[in-house]
Amino acid sequence: MPRYTVTIEDKEFDIVLEYHADRLEAVVNGKPRKIAVHKLGDTRSLLLVDNHSHEVDVRAAGTNGLRTVFMQGMEIPVTVENYSLAQMRKTAGISAGPSIEKMFRAPMPGLVMQIKVEPGQQVKAGDPVVVIEAMKMENILKAKGPAKVKAIHVSQGQSVEKGDKLVEFE
């Protein structure tokens, strides 16, 4: 039976999903929830949780179970882990979810204005990593998920091209 550990900010959910031929049942942190899903598009779905309606857009954000949920006008970074792997991770004493894409690259050409992290630093989803100035606008590039900084590949004042290595995570 699929069981997941889902992390949003500092909140953790233990979700068991039971798939029957014609329905989906969920137990969320021990409480049963009735679920219905209707696909609206490639990534969009109408999700009914205990008959409450939610339009959601769930997108994979890199590898390793990282997802972005667009819901009620908000963009919510979510980590979904296999429950038993998450348990093992916790036993091993690793604090956060699975690692995100190891190489943090420039999404646009621009000038590196600030580097907000240092090697060895632990970041969580939404933490600012690098500030790039492009077309007179400052763009804060944020961590997509929890990770530890391994190396920094650029310096302040350096101009970068799209796809250049910025910061490497462990």
User: Where along the sequence are the contacts to other proteins (CB under 8 A)?
Assistant: 2, 4, 6, 8-9, 11, 13, 15, 17, 19, 21-24, 26, 28, 33, 35-39, 41, 43-45, 47-49, 52, 54-60, 65, 67, 69-76, 78, 80, 107-108, 126, 128, 134-135, 137-140, 142
Of 64 and 150, nearer to other proteins (C-beta) is: 64
Q: What are phi and psi of 107, to 5 degrees?
A: -80, -10
C-beta atoms surrounding 142 within 10 Å: 16
CB of 100 to other proteins, least distance (A): 15
Q: What is the rounded CA–CA span in Å between residue 147 and residue 38?
A: 34
CB of 84 to other proteins, least distance (A): 14
Q: What is the rounded CA–CA span in Å between residue 48 and residue 66?
A: 22
Q: What is the rounded CA–CA span in Å between residue 54 and residue 72?
A: 8
Q: What is the rounded CA–CA span in Å between residue 143 and residue 59?
A: 16
Of 22 and 93, nearer to other proteins (C-beta) is: 22
Of 35 and 94, nearer to other proteins (C-beta) is: 35
Of 29 and 95, nearer to other proteins (C-beta) is: 29
